[in-house]
Structure 1
Amino acid sequence: MARSALALLVVGAVASPGSAAAAAKPLPQQWWFTSWGVEDRLWTSSRGQGVTVAVIDTGVQASLPDLNGAVLPGMDAESGSGDGRTDVDRTESNGHGTAMASLIAAQGRGTGLLGVAPNAKILPVVAQSKPAYAKGIRFAADRGAKVISLSQALPGACPADLQEAVTYALGKDAVVVAGAGNDGNGSNSSMSPANCAGVVAVGAVDAQFRPWVKSQRQSYVTVAAPGVQTSAILRDGKVSFGSGTSDATALTSAAVALIRAKFPNMSNREVVQQVIGSAMDVGPSGRDPQTGFGFIRPYRVFNGTVPKNGANPVFEAYDRQAKNAQKTEEPSGGGGPKGGADMASVIVLVAWVVVGAVIALVMLFVLMRRRKKGRPAPLGPVPGATPSFGAPYPQQGQMPPGPGPQGQGPGPQGYPPQGYPQQPPQQGPPQGPPQGGYAPQTHMDIPQQPRTQQDIPQQPRTQQDIPQQPPPRQ
C-alpha cells in the first residue's frame, strides 16, 4: 500500500524521465542502494549520463512507464528482425531482459523502483544462443556501448566466434560483464560467455555479503555483487522478487556505467582493474571460486582509494589468449618446416640434373668411339641386362634414389579452447535461469583496508524491508 502511494506521488510530481529519476527514491527493499551508498556516495557525481549499456537477453519492454525514454532501438540477433524493444520472454521469468534493464536504468515512474544508473541508456539485444550472443556483442560494440551486460549463458567452453566477438568489443573499449552461473550447488558447469577471455564474471551475495548457495563455484569468477532477494520489473510492469547471478550481473553493469560516466577518459582495462581492486573479501580468505576477489564497492573507485597499479587478471588472461591466437595465425617462415622441405627438394633436383648431364656426356663419348669402329650405337640398356655404368635406372613412376624432400613438421599449435572440461553444449535456448561466467588463471589477494564503519557496505535499514522467501527468478 505504501509502495503504491509512493509510485503515485512520483508520477504526479514529475513528467520527464530524467527528472523522475532525480526526484524518486529507491524502494525500501532495494538493499544494494544502502550497501553501495548509491544516493550519497555515487549519485552525487554520476547517474550514468552519456553511457550506453547493452542488455543482451530477451529484449526489453520499452513501453513501460519505468523505462520510458531509457531504451534505444536495438536488434533481434535470433530472427534478424525487430529492434529489441519488445520482451519476447514467455517463460516463467515473464520478461527476464526487462527485469535486468530495470535494475540498471529504471526511472521510478511506474512502480517506484529505480535503477542504479537511471540516466544511462539501454541498448536491447534479443539473443538466446551462443551464435546470437556473438552477433549481439558485435552489434553493441559498433553502436558505442561502453558496457555489455549478459545475464545469461549456456554450458560449455567459449566457442571461437564468441571469443572473437568479445575481443572485438574489448577493442572498441567496451567492458563485457556476464553472470557466473546459477547451478553451483548442482552440476556447477563452466558457462560461456562468462568463461571467455576478457569477460568480468560475477557471482551473487546476499545483504549480509554471504555467497548465494547456487552461485557457480568456478575459478573464472571475478567478483561478486548483490543478487539475493532482489526486486525487478517484469514485462507486465509488475515488481518481481528473486535471486540469481543474473541480477548481480545487471547491477555490476550499472555500477560500471556510473564509473564510466564519472571517468570518461578511463579505458576499459583501467575500469576493470579498478572494479577488482575495490572488492571487499567476503568469502574464504583471499580469492575464492564463488565470490572471486569479493564484493565490489564502486564508491572506492569514486573516492580514489583503489591503487591504480593493481593486478588485472581479466585482461591478463585476455592478453595471453590474444598472444596465442596471433601465434596460431602466423605463417611458417622460410627457415621453418615448410621452408626446409622446399630447400631439400631443390637440392635433390639439382643433383639429378648434374647426374643426368654426366650420363649424357658418357653416352656421347661411347657413341663417338663406336662410330669410329663402325658399330651401331646403343639406344638404351638391353632389357634384362645390367647397364654399362651408373646405378640402375629408376622404374616407371618411381622417384630417383637419393635423399628425398624433408617431411613437413607440425605447425604452430592452436590455442586451447577457453574454459574447463565440461558437458557438451545444450541445443536451443537455455533452460532454467539464464546464467553465465570467465576464468582468469592468476591468483591475487587484494590487501584489505581496516574495516571501519564508514568503509564497510551497510546492510538494509530493517530486516522487514527484505522479502523473506522470494520466489526464484527463472
Structure 2
Amino acid sequence: MSLALVTGGVLVAPAPASADTVRGLQWYLDSLRIPQAHKITKGQGVTVAVVDTGVDASHPALAGRVLRGAGFGSGAGSDGRRDADTETGHGTGMAGLVAGIGGSDGVQLGIAPEARILPVATGGPENVSSAVAAEGVRWAVDNGADVVNISSRATGRSPELVEAVEYAVARDVVVVAPAGNTVQGDVGIGQPANIPGVIAVTGTGRDGKFHSGSTFGPEAVLAGPIEDIIAPVPPVVIDIGYGVATGTSSTAAIVSGIVALVRARYPDLDAANVVNRLIRTASDLGPEGRDDRYGFGAVDPVAALTASVPSVQQHPLVAADGGGPGPDGAGPEKTDDSEPWLTVGVTNRTGAMIQVALCLLIPIALLVLVVVLLRRESRRKKAAAPIPPGFGNSGRPGGPPTVPYGPPGGGYGPPPGHPMWQPQPGPPQSPPSTPYPGQMPLSPPAEGGPGERETPGDHRPPTGSGGR
C-alpha cells in the first residue's frame, strides 16, 4: 500500500501588496492566540519529526532549527536536510509551520519557533509505500522525536504502519496526521490518521467553522486552521520562498507545533496526558461531545497551556480491544474524573451513552436488593415479636385467654373486679408454663414460608450496598 502527500491544492505566491507581509498572511497565529502562547513557551527542548519529502535546511525561516535526519525508500542515503519535492516543497512547508524562527515580517514564524526539526525523508511527491513510512516513523522514535508529524494519507490498511504507530505511542511519542482533502478525492479519514493513538486533524476556515475542503469521520480528534496557510518552500518551487495552500497537511503541522508547546510547558507529562490535555481544552464547536467534523473540538493552545486538567493513566485515543497498546501495554481505563468520551473503547456518543446506562443499572440493582432484604427482615421481626395485650394465648384479637392474664392491676388484662377474677368451679388451673405471663412462644412457621425464623445476622444488606 502507498501513501500520498496531503497537499490540498496548488501553491501560489503571496500577493506583493505591502500589507501582505509573511507575518500579515499568517492570520491563524492571531486566531489561535499564538503571541499569547509564546509568552508562556516557544517549544524549547522539544524535537518534532517531519516524516515527509525532506526539509530544506538552508531556508531562512528554518536557520539553525533542522537536525541531521535520515532518508528511506527513494530518499535513502540522505540526511533529510534536502527537500526532494520540487513541485510543492511539502516537507519544508510542514517544518516551517512547526518551527519557523520568525524575527521579521519577511520570515515565517512557526507555532513552536524554538523546537527542533528532525527531518525524515521518504522520497519525492510521488506516492510512498506504507512500509517506507513505517520505517521512517520507527527511526524517528528511536532517535529522539517527541512528536511525529506524518502529512500523508492512504486509503487501505497497512499492518506495518499500524505497528509503527503502536511502537511510537508505547514509547511516549505523540503522532499527528491529517484527515485528508476533498480536492484530492479523499473520502473519510484514512491511514495513518485513523490508527488508534494518532491525533487525526480536520480543518476549519477563517470563520472558525468546518471547512468543506477537509474530510471527516468518527476518527476525528481535533480541528485547526486549513484555509490559505502560508508556508516556506525551497526557491526552486517559488522564487520568493513562500507559498499559500489550503489543506489538512498544513493543519496537522500547526497542531504538531501546538503539541510541541505543550510538551515544552509540561516536560514531565507523558504522551497520553499531553493528548488528554489537548482534547480536554479544545473548543467544542459541533454537537456536544466528540463528533465527526471537529472531533473533540477546535484546538486551543492557550487553554492547553494554562488550564487545570485531571490526569489519565492511559492513552485516551487507544482502544482496549486491539486498537494498540497504551503506555503500559494495555488499553485506557476510565479514571474517576474522566469524561465518558475518555473511557475504554468509546469513540462515539452512542457508545458513551451505553456505558453510562450500564453504570447506572448497577447501583439501581443493588438498591432493589437492599429494599427486598430490608422487607424480609421486617417481616421476620414482626413474626417474632411478642403478642400484645388483649390478644390472649390464642393469638387472635378478641380470642379467649387460656391462662390468667396475671395479677389484678398488673396491666396485662381486665381491671380488678372483673368477673373472670372470681373463683371458678372445677379443679385448680395449672400455672402458666411460659417464661412470662400472658404469652407463649410462637411455633416457627413451616420451613421456607414467609416470615421464616432466621438466626440473628441473616440477610444483612451487603457491605457498601448503599450506595503515563
**TM-score band, normalised by the shorter chain?**
0.5 to 0.7
Please point out which of 78, 100, 107 is paired with 2:101: 107
| Cross-structure match for 2:34 | 38
Q: Distance in 2 between matches of 1:204 and 1:137?
A: 24
| Cross-structure match for 2:7 | none
TM-score, normalised with respect to structure 2: 0.61
Residue 6 of structure 1 and its aligned partner are, at CA, apart by 11
Q: Which aligned segments of 4 or more residues in structure 1 are displaced greater than 6 angstroms?
A: 1-7
Secondary structure of the residue that 2:29 maps to in structure 1? helix
* Residue type at the aligned position of 2:26: Q
Secondary structure of the residue that 1:155 maps to in structure 2? coil
Contact residue 156 and residue 190 of structure 1 kept, 8 A: no
Q: 1:408-419 maps to which residues of 2 (within 5 A)?
A: none
| Cross-structure match for 1:29 | 25
The answer for unaligned runs of 5 or more in structure 2 is 1-14, 123-127, 331-344, 351-468
Contact residue 54 and residue 119 of structure 2 kept, 8 A: yes
Please point out which of 55, 73, 88 is paired with 1:78: 73
| Cross-structure match for 1:54 | 49
* Residue type at the aligned position of 1:171: A
| Cross-structure match for 2:245 | 242
Higher relative contact order (CA 8 A, sep 6+): 1
Contact residue 275 and residue 297 of structure 1 kept, 8 A: yes
Residue 4 of structure 1 and its aligned partner are, at CA, apart by 7.5
- CA 1:208/1:4 → structure 2, altered by over 3 Å: closer, same or farther? closer
Contact residue 67 and residue 116 of structure 2 kept, 8 A: yes
Q: Distance in 1 between matches of 2:347 and 2:297?
A: 15
| Cross-structure match for 2:203 | 204
Contact residue 77 and residue 135 of structure 1 kept, 8 A: yes
- CA 1:38/1:318 → structure 2, altered by over 3 Å: closer, same or farther? farther
Residue 145 of structure 1 and its aligned partner are, at CA, apart by 0.5
Please point out which of 258, 262, 266 is paired with 2:265: 262
Q: Distance in 2 between matches of 1:183 and 1:52?
A: 31
Percent identity of the aligned residues?
A: 38
Q: Distance in 2 between matches of 1:86 and 1:153?
A: 22
Contact residue 279 and residue 296 of structure 2 kept, 8 A: yes
Quote the RMSD (CA, aligned, Å): 2.8
| Cross-structure match for 2:214 | 215
TM-score, normalised with respect to structure 1: 0.60
The answer for unaligned runs of 5 or more in structure 1 is 8-25, 328-439, 446-474
* Residue type at the aligned position of 1:60: V
Secondary structure of the residue that 1:27 maps to in structure 2? helix
Please point out which of 300, 304, 317 is paired with 1:301: 304
Contact residue 154 and residue 191 of structure 1 kept, 8 A: yes
Structure exhibiting the larger radius of gyration computed from Cα positions: 2
Q: Distance in 1 between matches of 2:20 and 2:216?
A: 40
Q: Distance in 1 between matches of 2:274 and 2:133?
A: 23
Q: 1:309-388 maps to which residues of 2 (within 5 A)?
A: 313-316=316-319, 320-322=323-325
Contact residue 184 and residue 216 of structure 1 kept, 8 A: no
Residue 108 of structure 1 and its aligned partner are, at CA, apart by 2.5
Secondary structure of the residue that 1:250 maps to in structure 2? helix
Corresponding residue pairs, total: 309
Contact residue 230 and residue 247 of structure 1 kept, 8 A: yes
Contact residue 271 and residue 315 of structure 2 kept, 8 A: no
| Cross-structure match for 2:131 | 131
* Residue type at the aligned position of 1:72: L
Contact residue 198 and residue 318 of structure 1 kept, 8 A: no
User: Whose helix proportion is higher, 1 or 2?
Assistant: 1
* Residue type at the aligned position of 1:51: V
Q: Distance in 2 between matches of 1:279 and 1:210?
A: 14
* Residue type at the aligned position of 2:86: R
Residue 444 of structure 1 and its aligned partner are, at CA, apart by 5.7
Q: Distance in 2 between matches of 1:316 and 1:187?
A: 25
Residue 112 of structure 1 and its aligned partner are, at CA, apart by 2.1
- CA 1:320/1:58 → structure 2, altered by over 3 Å: closer, same or farther? closer
Residue 183 of structure 1 and its aligned partner are, at CA, apart by 2.1
Secondary structure of the residue that 1:39 maps to in structure 2? helix
| Cross-structure match for 1:154 | 154
Residue 194 of structure 1 and its aligned partner are, at CA, apart by 1.1
Contact residue 78 and residue 121 of structure 2 kept, 8 A: no
Please point out which of 277, 290, 304 is paired with 2:280: 277
Q: Distance in 1 between matches of 2:262 and 2:186?
A: 35
Contact residue 46 and residue 258 of structure 1 kept, 8 A: yes
Contact residue 55 and residue 92 of structure 2 kept, 8 A: yes
| Cross-structure match for 2:435 | none
| Cross-structure match for 1:394 | none
Deviations 1:117-153 (A, max 9, x none): 0100000111232111101111110111000001111
Secondary structure of the residue that 1:192 maps to in structure 2? coil
- CA 1:130/1:56 → structure 2, altered by over 3 Å: closer, same or farther? same
* Residue type at the aligned position of 1:302: L
Contact residue 149 and residue 256 of structure 2 kept, 8 A: yes
Q: Distance in 2 between matches of 1:86 and 1:27?
A: 25
